[in-house]
Amino acid sequence: MAYTALYREFRPKTFSEMVGQDHITKTLKNQIIADRVGHAYLFNGGRGTGKTSAAKILARAINCLNPKDGEPCNECEICKGILSGSITDVVEMDAASNNSVEDIRSIREEVNFLPTIAKYRVYIIDEVHMLSTGAFNALLKTLEEPPEHVKFILATTEPQKLPATILSRCQRFDFKRISNEDIIKRLKIVCNEAKIEITEEALNTIAILSEGAMRDALSILERCVQDGIQNIDDNYIKDLVGIPKLVYIKQIMTGILNYNVEQVLENANTVLAEGKDITNFTWELIKFAKDLLIYKTSKKLELYSKEELDEIDKICKEADKDRLLSIVYNLSELANNIKTSSQKTIIFQAGLIKLCNKEQGNTNSDLERRIEILEERLANGNLQVKSQPKTNIQQPKEQQSAQHFVQEDNKDVKTKEEKKPASNGEQSTISRKMA
């Protein structure tokens, strides 16, 4: 048997096989049933969410000799011909490589001819935002007055790059990122049919890694299959994509929380020695700290096993919220520094050491701890105070009162801002990523 990539082999052939886009497939089926199919569609959405698949199904459904409930039968002569590519009335064009005026002009000439055997000639134009300005103009003329027997399905990941004139002539459907639940549902069907054995946790990990793109989920699965693994489990996938194991992440996080620099560095070095990518690694740490925060506030976390949740519960009991917040912020700053550095390992290790330094923090609890240390030193008599030179400079009145206000009202927020003037943009990036 010839080898086909999983994602092609398992391209949904009916609307009902598609997952996560019910709002779209339902409308399309209704239009087909009511014989009210539009002449131009725009399928918008991230990669691997089903735009091309839906376009192909639609192209068959409107040409099928025995459509059922708005679905193509995939058995009649027309469906089969379109599926095998022997019927040329359904044309797929990739605008990324055919973006010139000539490419579109040839479509404009072609549309005047009747389809060979199908009812409609269907043009599926992928990555339509890549067309040149001239090509857009040429396309516009055809979209304005397409012959009865012609349908257009345009697909794009970047609708904001399309001229308004094109947008206004199409029925637009927005394909959503596919939920982890739906990805797992589809993966299970694929694994079952392809006789792939895989654990529930592994499916979960694949779903998280693919971030809403079904194609990515199938590609990860494919890599496991190609390696000839019989029973795919969670650790195998994490190894494959270079994610450090949760054990290490947990050790590092508890190390940071306890200011135990040896524990942190030892575990970090183990992960690095396995050749994991530092950027991914840092993100895993951020994600874990963020998850601890979420758990602390809501007692709910979806992506962990029962045993893992028990451990998370234990860690959370001892960790305080401000401290976790500051860890997330500091790690995000570290992630940024790593991105721009040519000495990633050093920056990474130095960042971890800094996180384990009790006296560095600025959160309420950090400050409390710093006061504690000072009090301890005072009590032990080992605090040396250097005498401060007196300043005679008078501050202007307004400034004095403004400062007064800040100090009374919001003391440590002000301190934080003064110390890190650049951290604002950073914070909003994190909250976006966390959302």
The span from the CA of 287 to the CA of 27, in Å, is: 37
> Closer CB to ligand ADP, residue 214 or residue 243?
214
Q: Which does 20 bind (CB under 5 to 8 A by kind): ligand ADP, Zn ion, Mg ion, none?
A: ligand ADP
Instruction: Report if residue 60 touches ligand ADP, rule: CB under 6 A.
Output: no
Instruction: Report if residue 157 touches Mg ion, rule: CB under 5 A.
Output: no
Residues that bind Zn ion (CB under 5 A): 64, 72-73, 76, 79
DSSP state of 46: S
> Closer CB to ligand ADP, residue 32 or residue 125?
125
Closest distance of CB 292 from ligand ADP, Å: 33
Stretch that binds Mg ion, among 49-57, 184-192, 298-306, 410-418 (CB under 5 A): 49-57
Q: Which does 10 bind (CB under 5 to 8 A by kind): Mg ion, Zn ion, ligand ADP, none?
A: ligand ADP
Decide: 225 and 196 in contact? Cβ < 8 Å. yes
Instruction: Report if residue 156 touches Mg ion, rule: CB under 5 A.
Output: no
Which parts of 62-131 fold into alpha helices (H)?
A: 77-84, 101-110
Closest distance of CB 242 from ligand ADP, Å: 23
Closest distance of CB 152 from ligand ADP, Å: 16
Closest distance of CB 98 from ligand ADP, Å: 17
The span from the CA of 293 to the CA of 272, in Å, is: 26
Closest distance of CB 48 from ligand ADP, Å: 5
The b/e string for 251-271 (b: 16+ C-beta within 10 A; e otherwise) is: bbbbbbbebebebbbebbebb
> Closer CB to Zn ion, residue 37 or residue 240?
37
> Closer CB to Zn ion, residue 57 or residue 64?
64
The span from the CA of 93 to the CA of 354, in Å, is: 54
The long-range contacts involving 95-100, CB below 8 angstroms and separated by at least 24 positions, are: 95/125, 95/126, 95/127, 95/128, 95/129, 95/130, 95/131, 95/135, 96/126, 96/127, 96/130, 99/130, 99/131, 99/132, 99/135, 100/132, 100/134, 100/135
Closest distance of CB 122 from Mg ion, Å: 15
Token pair recorded at residue 339: 């991105």
> For 145, what's the count of Cα atoms within 13 Å in the CB-facing half-sphere?
2
Instruction: Report if residue 81 touches ligand ADP, rule: CB under 6 A.
Output: no
How much of the chain is helix, strand and coil, in % rounded to 5?
60, 10, 30
**How far, in whole angstroms, is CA 249 from its chain's centroid?**
21
> Closer CB to Zn ion, residue 61 or residue 272?
61
Q: Which residues contact 384 (CB under 8 A, 6 or more apart)?
A: none
> Closer CB to ligand ADP, residue 215 or residue 344?
215
Please name the helix (run of DSSP H) or strand (run of DSSP E) that holds residue 434, with its range, or none: helix 423-434
Residue type, 2: A
Q: Which does 73 bind (CB under 5 to 8 A by kind): Mg ion, ligand ADP, Zn ion, none?
A: Zn ion
Closest distance of CB 241 from Mg ion, Å: 23
Closest distance of CB 51 from ligand ADP, Å: 3
The b/e string for 298-318 (b: 16+ C-beta within 10 A; e otherwise) is: eeeeeebeeebeeebeebbee
Among 21, 44, 52, 157, binds Mg ion (CB under 5 A): 52
Q: 87, 76, 24: which is closest to 53 by C-alpha?
A: 24
The span from the CA of 127 to the CA of 158, in Å, is: 8
**How far, in whole angstroms, is CA 228 from its chain's centroid?**
28
Among 21, 63, 156, 326, binds ligand ADP (CB under 6 A): 21
Closest distance of CB 19 from ligand ADP, Å: 4
> Closer CB to ligand ADP, residue 7 or residue 288?
7
> Closer CB to ligand ADP, residue 198 or residue 214?
214
The span from the CA of 106 to the CA of 88, in Å, is: 15
Closest distance of CB 39 from ligand ADP, Å: 21
Instruction: Report if residue 180 touches ligand ADP, rule: CB under 6 A.
Output: no
> Closer CB to Mg ion, residue 49 or residue 142?
49
Instruction: Report if residue 10 touches ligand ADP, rule: CB under 6 A.
Output: yes
Helix (H, G, I), strand (E, B) or coil at 131: coil
Structural Rg of the chain based on CA atoms: 29
Stretch that binds ligand ADP, among 40-48, 192-200, 303-311, 362-370 (CB under 6 A): 40-48
Instruction: Report if residue 186 touches ligand ADP, rule: CB under 6 A.
Output: yes
> Closer CB to Zn ion, residue 77 or residue 110?
77
Under the rule (CB under 5 A), what is the footprint of Mg ion? 51-52
Under the rule (CB under 6 A), what is the footprint of ligand ADP? 7-8, 10-12, 18-21, 45, 47-53, 155, 178, 186, 214-215, 218
